[in-house]
Amino acid sequence: MSQMHRQTTTDVLNVTEALRLASEQPASLRQKLSDLHVAEIAALIIDCRDDEQRRRLIELIDEERLGDVLLQLPEAMQEDLLAFFQPSDIEEIVEHLDSDDAADLLQAVDKPVADVVIDRLEPEERRGLAPLLEHDEESAGGLMQAELFKVRDDWTVDTVLKVLRRWGREIENLNYIYVVDDDDRLTGVLPLYQLLLSEPDQRISAIQDTEFPRAVAGQDQEEVAKMFEKYDVLALPVIDEQGLLIGRITADDVIDVIHEEATEDMYRLAALSDEDDLAEPVLTTARRRGLWLMVNLGTAIAASIVISQFESTIANLVALAVLMPIVASMGGIAGTQTLTVIVRGIALGRVTFANARRALIKEVSVSMVSGLLFAVVIGIVATFWFPEVGVKLGLVIAAAMMINLFAAGLAGAVIPLTLQRLHIDPALASGTILTTITDIVGFFSFLGLATLFLL
């Protein structure tokens, strides 16, 4: 990841102004863009109306920063814009990026074009990139960068300082020195400041931290993020299956991962695809969301089939049609509360295999307490609202409320815990399954009890 330290300028350029300058005074816009932070340029590009406008601005961005700007755009937009570039242009962009960023950018390019670009690169750069492209984008290997400062464990502090002065300039965020043995196997890590505090003739093997945590290339990025939290480190070395040092991951890359994972969970809980993107075309979004809406339509129809079994009951007592959505709605909300707490608890590592049973008992207990409370409240409301049916209606809705809130608490905890046990993302589809259960249990218990006791 590149570092750009310039502070936000006070008068930020807006899109209209930028596009005007692009036509009338391109040189002045080029100058203005070079004064902006990459994140600000990216915001301008996102704000354009269409790709044609975007390309007019992109033409005026400094070549060295174009890659960093593109990487800040939503993935779909990256892909669309990169489709307009020649392999030679992409090659130049890639040359200005760190290996992890270069790999990310190439993954947004059509495979055949990416292959042409990789073939055109200098052998040295190609060697750095190849292992990164091998790994899954969401693994430690996909997250790491190849640029790091590596020393042999039999060197002295003095040797390392000399090598550092000669070669260190090319590495950003150089805060840890990675120590390897003859076979390039990681033996330990040395924080840079430790080096400064040590005597020149000390051997690195004597001062390295051999217990420093390390990530393995195949590890999921979510696990890597958890290691950063657990050990409070600013960077982690990445090793392959043989223990060879192949890269490092810095905390700033992990911040992006944490955002991504939280967004994914939030989106999945809301019946959204995690690829849903504000910047993509209306029809693409409508199609993605339509899939989940279609699933919900199916479950809503299932709930309606339950209601239709009680048509004659409702015909006899229309008050039931008035009240039934209350029972279903309260179950949906209470169940979503439990579901969200459990899904988030699993994501943060607070709910584990060991304490899952306790979490389940707690959530069901809460739902029984709420059930009791809201049974009383809704029972009283219903009794006074429909005095012609009176206390019997109140008792029926109270019982249905207790049953449905109990089902909500149970389902809200059991669904994500079960998905987790099956190695499926606990957020995935759990909201839809939950409301299906609370709707069906809500309608069935209320209308069923009414059929038994009120007719």
Q: How far is the CB of 55 from a second copy (least distance, A)?
A: 18
Structure tokens belonging to residue 279 = 């910047």
- Cα separation, 46 vs 382, in Å, equals 52
- Cα separation, 290 vs 309, in Å, equals 29
- Cα separation, 229 vs 96, in Å, equals 31
Q: How far is the CB of 223 from a second copy (least distance, A)?
A: 11
Of all helices (H) and strands (E), which one includes residue 326? helix 319-347
- Cα separation, 102 vs 5, in Å, equals 21
**Closer Cβ to a second copy, 134 or 223, answer by number:** 223
Residue 199 CB partners (closer than 8 Å, separation 6+): 157
Structure tokens belonging to residue 440 = 């069906």
Q: How far is the CB of 190 from a second copy (least distance, A)?
A: 12
Q: How far is the CB of 385 from a second copy (least distance, A)?
A: 8
- Tokens 């007592």 correspond to 317
Contact 147, 131 (CB under 8 A): no
Q: How far is the CB of 116 from a second copy (least distance, A)?
A: 30
- Cα separation, 247 vs 388, in Å, equals 76
Q: How far is the CB of 331 from a second copy (least distance, A)?
A: 10
Q: How far is the CB of 122 from a second copy (least distance, A)?
A: 25
- Cα separation, 414 vs 421, in Å, equals 10
**Closer Cβ to a second copy, 132 or 413, answer by number:** 413
Q: How far is the CB of 448 from a second copy (least distance, A)?
A: 15
Q: How distant, in Å, are the alpha carbons of 306, 392, 448 from that of 395?
A: 21, 5, 13
**CA-based angle 274:435:402, to the nearest 5?**
145
- Tokens 């109990």 correspond to 406
**Closer Cβ to a second copy, 118 or 319, answer by number:** 319
**Closer Cβ to a second copy, 204 or 378, answer by number:** 378
**Closer Cβ to a second copy, 244 or 306, answer by number:** 306
**Closer Cβ to a second copy, 122 or 229, answer by number:** 229
**Closer Cβ to a second copy, 206 or 322, answer by number:** 322
* DSSP bridge partners of 249: 236
**Closer Cβ to a second copy, 247 or 345, answer by number:** 345
Secondary structure (3-state) at 248: strand
